Amino acid sequence: MLRDDVLVIVLAGGAGERLAPLTRDRAKPAVYFGGPYRIIDFVLSNCINSGLRHIFIATQYKSLSLNRHIRQGWTVVSEELGEFIEILPPQKRVGEHWYQGTADAVYQNLYSIIREKPKHVVVLAGDHVYKMDYQKMLRFHIDAAADVTLAAIEVPIEDGHRFGIVAVDESDRVTGFLEKPQHPPAMPGHPHLAMASMGIYVFDSDVLIKALEEDAAKPESQHDFGKNIIPSLIGHGKTYSYAFYDENKKAAKYWRDVGTIDAYYEAQMDLCHVNPEFNMYDPEWPLRTYMPQAPPAKFVFAESWRRGEAQDSLISHGCIVSGSRIHGSILCPNVRVHSFCEIEQSILMPGVRVGRHARIRRAIIDRDVLIPRGALIGYNLEEDSRRHTVTEGGVVVVTTADEPLVGPISEEALRAEAEADRRGAAQT
């Protein structure tokens, strides 16, 4: 097994502007996904499950939350054995500017790479959700005697304009790389499919160092792996494409760039299905994260007028659902939902508090938001758009800076509340 001669660099410094306002106070890789997890957890879990334990994480944009998460949750490596997961903050070691692109982020940390003396360097994006054994890609890279290998996944050719498209010959050697082309080339033998780059690269270290140094000397470059580094190596070295081998154990390959609110929302709603596309429950491929100390989730009241219940939902530890109904939703750790609420197809981040009689539908509630009694979210998008971010897909995003609409509470609901409180008082 390859291990000691491989260095991993995870690029986690992007601003994630298309995920705003969820990225207003945190980097995109630090955004919650699937309950207790952060987006970066899936890439780091891939590394650990692949036996790769020499990992640098390059951060930049609003990295406090991400840094704290890594420090608290990713202590699975052994320093005594020379293993590490270390954060590389921007340091202006080679100039007076911050990171100018993905390649520049690695170039400014060349001293760290050289010091580790790796034979191979794996460069990963920290903001995608998928399962992959990087050892298999490394074996392919070595067997092909490649200078650089990039991972690619099949996509319908009509969707090719959304991705960087890889042109390959029958031996998987890369013959071209086109960034979001209007007319993407088809795979050999598959006219309806194109090969999309996944932003996953394996380099021989000397090839990477030379390519980064040459790119840094070009003022016209955008200093980006997909736009500059990879195209510059095609035709001047042995560049190969590795067909993505999925460890998700499903019929279709799973790789998601949750770069927009709607894509992020839909990927999480899929987790609530009986048979979701992404398998989170495989004991042979554990997903790791930081788990704060908290008690198990709790559902209270089983009365006819109020019942704490959840269907087709993911409920994290520390949550209390008191006499409310949760359907098709995800509750992150330490959420409190008070009585007489209806929450449907929504994502509630950690620390959210929902007051009585609130109704929430197709919404994302950001961390530590206090939803007032009788709030109405997701039922009147025109009104919601005056108060919150509303996506093209009709998803409402509520942050701590927002003031949700408070709707009228019916007389019947108020009578049920009074009766519940009366009986509760009598029991005590």
Q: What is the pLDDT of residue 187?
A: 82
CATH 2.160.10.10 domain extents, the chain = 298-427
Residues 5-17 pLDDT 10s? 999 999 998 777 8
Residues 259-312 pLDDT 10s? 899 999 999 999 999 999 999 999 999 999 999 899 999 999 988 778 999 999
Question: What is the Cα–Cα distance from 424 to 106, expressed in whole angstroms?
Answer: 61
pLDDT at residue 183 greater than cutoff 50: yes
Give the pair of three-digit tokens for residue 112. 């760290």
CATH 3.90.550.10 domain extents, the chain = 6-271
Nearest to 375 by CA among 350, 342, 400: 342
Q: What is the pLDDT of residue 93?
A: 64
pLDDT at residue 39 greater than cutoff 80: yes
Q: What is the pLDDT of residue 3?
A: 64
- Over range 46-62, report the average pLDDT: 94
Q: What is the pLDDT of residue 416?
A: 82
Question: What is the Cα–Cα distance from 33 to 19, expressed in whole angstroms?
Answer: 13
- Over range 42-66, report the average pLDDT: 94
pLDDT at residue 428 greater than cutoff 50: no
- Over range 207-222, report the average pLDDT: 92
27-36, 118-127, 400-409, 418-427: which range is least confident on average?
418-427
- Over range 155-161, report the average pLDDT: 89
Percentage of the chain beyond pLDDT 70 is 97
The whole-chain average pLDDT of the chain stands at 91
pLDDT at residue 412 greater than cutoff 90: no
pLDDT at residue 1 greater than cutoff 70: no
Cross-strand bridge partners of residue 396: 363, 390
- Over range 164-174, report the average pLDDT: 87
Confidence of residue 96 (pLDDT cuts 50, 70, 90): low
Q: Is 102 or 33 the better-scoring residue by pLDDT?
A: 33
CATH superfamily to which 298-427 belongs? Hexapeptide repeat proteins (2.160.10.10)
The arrangement of secondary structure in 6-271, i.e. its CATH architecture, is: Alpha-Beta Complex (3.90)
Cross-strand bridge partners of residue 154: 195
Q: Is the peptide bond before 181 cis (omega within 30 degrees of 0)?
A: no
61-70, 87-96, 191-200: which range is least confident on average?
87-96
pTM score: 0.93
Confidence of residue 94 (pLDDT cuts 50, 70, 90): low
Q: What is the pLDDT of residue 160?
A: 86
Helix ranges (H only) for 117-194 are 134-143
What own/partner pairs with CB < 8 Å and gap ≥ 24 does 347-354 have? 347/32, 347/265, 347/268, 349/32, 350/32, 350/316, 354/324
- Over range 19-31, report the average pLDDT: 92
Question: What is the Cα–Cα distance from 254 to 233, expressed in whole angstroms?
Answer: 28
Phi-psi region of 342 (alpha: psi -120 to 50; beta: other; left: phi over 0): beta
Q: What is the pLDDT of residue 179?
A: 81
Q: What is the pLDDT of residue 191?
A: 87
Residues 329-379 pLDDT 10s? 999 999 999 999 999 999 999 999 999 999 999 999 999 999 999 999 999
pLDDT at residue 20 greater than cutoff 50: yes
